[in-house]
Structure 1
Amino acid sequence: MSLKKSYSKDKKTCNVTFSVSQEAAHGAEKVSIAGDFNSWSSTETPLKKGKDGSFSVKIPLEAGKEYQFRYLLDGKHWENDWAADKYIPAPFSHTDNSVVIC
């Protein structure tokens, strides 16, 4: 898993590429991302599967903010990003959410 960030020329937008490696996907056919940026929708933001079996999606986010998120594998299993900027306790479960800082 990885996060790649690039900023717009005016530094107002942080383009984040969220990636899940084939290994981290654990054989999943579909991966989506849910977080603050899409009202925690588990279906709104699917990741595209690459030829190597990895998944990725690029999301433009407002710079200067923190966003919580998690990945959903095959609509069943939630996973954190191993390369998140930090983790914070999830408000409705006994796990942590991943956080990306833009």
Structure 2
Amino acid sequence: MLERDPREGRTEVTFVLPAVTPTRPVSVVGDFNGWKPGTHELAPRPDGTRAVTVALAAEASHSFRYLAAGDYWFNDDSVESQLDGNSRLTT
């Protein structure tokens, strides 16, 4: 699930996953961080979910996937579209 918070010139996007799906550490990896694993690792929140917030350019499209420990890649089914096997979001 994605949470969006528009700001001047950017959008803060919070990537949210349930605490147990999967149970291993997870990071969001995409064109906004050079597809570098571990740069944006999701952290536990009080409501039982895990999340990380990333500031992205406003009015832009971004490709991303989640990467769990053990080389388990997966997409976000809540996004508007998928492109070339990746989740795609528009800010």
Give yes or no for TM over 0.5. yes
Per the alignment, residue 5 of structure 1 pairs with 4
**Normalised by the size of structure 1, how large is the TM-score?**
0.81
Residues 7-38 of structure 1: per-residue CA shift (max 9 Å, x gap): 11x3x111101011135x2322x110110110
- Mapping of residues 83-94 of structure 1, within 5 Å: 83-89=78-84
Q: How many residues align?
A: 91
**Normalised by the size of structure 2, how large is the TM-score?**
0.89
Overall identity of the aligned pairs, in %: 30
Moved over 4 A (4+): none
Structure 1 unaligned residues grouped into runs of 5+: 90-95
SS in structure 2 of the partner of residue 72 of structure 1: strand
Higher-strand-fraction structure: 2
Per the alignment, residue 42 of structure 1 pairs with 37
Q: CA RMSD in A?
A: 1.5
- Mapping of residues 31-70 of structure 1, within 5 Å: 31-51=26-46, 53-70=48-65
Per the alignment, residue 22 of structure 1 pairs with 19
Distance 1:50 1:60 in 2: 19
Structure 2 unaligned residues grouped into runs of 5+: none
Q: How far is the alpha carbon of 1:53 from its aligned partner? A: 4.5
Q: How far is the alpha carbon of 1:54 from its aligned partner? A: 2.4
